[in-house]
């Protein structure tokens, strides 16, 4: 299957990154290489793009799409390791870092990857297929309490307790092995009125399991910190999120790095000597235009937050 992914907020990201011809840029989520191809169009021969993706299918597709460009370094890894990745490449500072935290259309539409409640396939959801831990392990191995926690916390599912109860009861009969089997369990757990009025009944639970399998939230804080440490002064970091939990983490992390002072409010002057490393350029996140929403309905929940490095440390 062809690796397809419509790049979200593409023009807005290019403007946010303020690309220099001779700069070094990191695309932490290379995916279908939509954002990367636009970055490369703006780079000269002395510029460099580092493309990171933990999905080997994405890397292979990106290499094919970007084969005309010689100034790309491909890295099969999780962006959580950005510090080690750049150190191993001998690159101390970069001029821009982009993270598109969405699941690609390819991953959603390829049933065998197990990301989608709309396609039948094995319970997988691994972005890195070298990982041994999958959605099957979460659904069939987690306790009722653990399932409730992640469905409630990561899926923000109102009926999390019922869904967890139904999963545990069903797997007592036999392991739940496919996405459609799981969908049927979730449908049975969600009251009929909520099924009729809300989004697809499995949407929130599938999101929760995917986040858990790929540790999507717990890796964000460290990645943002490490990435900012590797930015040159005036370098930009642009992050696209697709649900409120991610957006909240990015918003709070940016805020804490922009305002690091830990002195009590009553102190007349700062004595902790912590200086801001960044300036947040998006007080409110940038969202897709009506035109983009018409072309790509999956971009509806996207939010872009951007910061600029202002301190050499």
What are the pLDDT digits (tens) for 1-50? 455 556 899 999 999 999 999 999 999 999 889 999 999 999 999 999 99
Residue 174 CB contacts under 8 Å (≥ 6 apart), including other chains = none
* Beta-bridge partners for 241: 303
Residue 308 CB contacts under 8 Å (≥ 6 apart), including other chains = 234, 235, 236, 278, 279, 281
Q: Where are the beta strands (DSSP E) in the chain?
A: 24-27, 48-53, 72-76, 94-100, 231-241, 278-280, 303-309
> How does pLDDT run across 231-279, given as a tens digit for each residue?
999 999 999 999 999 999 999 999 999 998 888 888 888 888 888 999 9
The number of beta carbons lying within 10 Å of the beta carbon of residue 131 is 14
* Beta-bridge partners for 193: none
The terminus-to-terminus CA distance of the chain in angstroms comes to: 45
Question: Which domains, and CATH codes, for the chain?
Answer: 10-101+217-309 (3.40.50.150), 112-214 (1.10.150.170)
Can you read off the two tokens belonging to residue 128?
A: 């890195």
- Supply the pLDDT for residue 4: 54
- Dist CA 87 CA 52 (whole Å): 14
CA angle, 138 then 141 then 147, to 5°: 55
> How does pLDDT run across 145-161, given as a tens digit for each residue?
999 999 999 999 999 99
The number of beta carbons lying within 10 Å of the beta carbon of residue 7 is 21
- Residue 178 has φ and ψ, to the nearest 5°, of -125, 165
Percentage of residues in the chain having pLDDT higher than 70? 98
Can you read off the two tokens belonging to residue 8?
A: 């979200």
CB-based burial label for 70 (10 Å; 0-12, 13-18, 19+)? exposed
pTM for this prediction: 0.90
> How does pLDDT run across 184-242, given as a tens digit for each residue?
999 999 999 888 887 899 999 999 999 999 999 999 999 999 999 999 999 999 999 99
Cβ atoms of residues 57 and 65 within 8 Å: no
Beta pairing class for 72-76 and 24-27: unpaired
Q: Could you give the 3-state DSSP secondary structure of residue 52?
A: strand
User: 109 pLDDT exceeds 80?
Assistant: no
């Amino acid at each position: 299957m062809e690796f397809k992914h419509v790049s979200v907020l593409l023009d807005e990201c290019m403007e946010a990154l303020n690309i220099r011809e001779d700069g070094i840029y990191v695309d932490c989520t290379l995916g279908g290489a939509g954002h990367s191809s636009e970055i490369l169009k703006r780079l000269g021969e002395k510029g460099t793009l580092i493309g990171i993706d933990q999905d080997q299918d994405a890397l292979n597709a990106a290499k094919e799409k970007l084969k005309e460009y010689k100034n790309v370094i491909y890295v099969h890894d999780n962006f959580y390791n950005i510090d080690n990745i750049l150190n191993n490449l001998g690159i101390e500072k970069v001029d821009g870092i982009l993270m598109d935290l969405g699941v690609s259309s390819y991953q959603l539409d390829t049933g065998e990857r197990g990301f989608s409640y709309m396609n039948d396939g094995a319970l997988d959801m691994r972005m890195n297929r070298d990982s041994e831990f999958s959605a099957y392990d979460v659904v069939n191995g987690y306790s009722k309490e653990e399932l409730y926690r992640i469905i409630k916390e990561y899926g923000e599912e109102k009926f999390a307790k019922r869904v967890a109860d139904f999963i545990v009861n069903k797997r007592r009969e036999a392991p739940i092995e496919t996405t459609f089997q799981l969908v049927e369990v979730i449908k049975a757990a969600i009251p009929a009125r909520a099924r009729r009025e809300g989004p697809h009944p499995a949407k929130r639970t599938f999101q929760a399991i995917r986040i858990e399998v790929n540790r999507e939230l717990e890796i964000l804080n460290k990645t943002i910190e490490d990435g900012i440490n590797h930015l040159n002064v005036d370098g930009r970091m642009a992050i696209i999120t697709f649900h409120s939990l991610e957006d909240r983490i990015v918003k709070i992390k940016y805020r804490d790095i922009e305002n690091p002072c830990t002195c009590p409010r009553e102190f007349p002057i700062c004595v902790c000597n912590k200086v801001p490393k960044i300036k947040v350029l998006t007080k409110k996140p940038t969202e897709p235009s009506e035109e983009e929403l018409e072309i790509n309905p999956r971009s509806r929940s996207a939010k872009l937050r951007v910061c600029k490095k202002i301190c050499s440390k």
